[in-house]
Amino acid sequence: MSQLGINGPGLLSQIINFVFLYVLLNSFVFPPLRNMLDERKQRIADGLAAAELARKEADEERATLMAQIETERADAQKRIAEASAQAERVKVDILADARLEAEEIKTRAVEDAEAEKQRILAEAQKQIAELAVLAAERVVRHGIDDSLQHQLIDDFLSNTSLN
């Protein structure tokens, strides 16, 4: 072995030192190191499991919230539709009331106009009667009494109606 450049006793002492060091490390250093690595591995696995559980819970909560949002959205649309329908009913009622009130105002206006027309006609007949009396009085010059005068006026008015 010396031809290969290998020193036999040096190699033997290195092998003995290596075995001794391995036994020492395997007895005192490797077990706590393995325990520490196993604990770390377990913590990582627990963390990943907890993260997976949290993700699943978040997905379930998200699904629940989305369903609740959809329900609220549907309820809101239903309330909007109901409010629109009620507004339309109120609009129709207001228009019907306005038409009815307009018709009542129109009817009252026609009645008032008719009453005013009758009042004016009555007043005109009265004035015509007075003028006829004055004309007849001038013609007859005090020869007709009051009862005959009223009879003549009534006859005149019944024959010449202003209606």
How does pLDDT run across 91-126, given as a tens digit for each residue? Answer: 999 999 999 999 999 999 999 999 999 999 999 888
The stretch 139-161 carries a mean pLDDT of 70
Boundaries of domain holding 53: 7-159
Residue 1 lies in a domain: no
Residue 34 lies in a domain: yes
The whole-angstrom separation of Cα 76 and Cα 105 is 42
The stretch 49-78 carries a mean pLDDT of 96
Residue 121 lies in a domain: yes
pLDDT higher than 70, residue 140: no
* Sequence-distant (≥ 6) Cβ neighbours of residue 137 within 8 angstroms: 144, 149
Residue 2 lies in a domain: no
Residue 52 lies in a domain: yes
Tally the domains of the chain. Answer: 1
The whole-angstrom separation of Cα 43 and Cα 25 is 25
Identity of the amino acid at 28: F
Residue 96 lies in a domain: yes
DSSP alpha helix (H) spans, 3-160: 8-24, 30-140, 146-159
Identity of the amino acid at 58: A
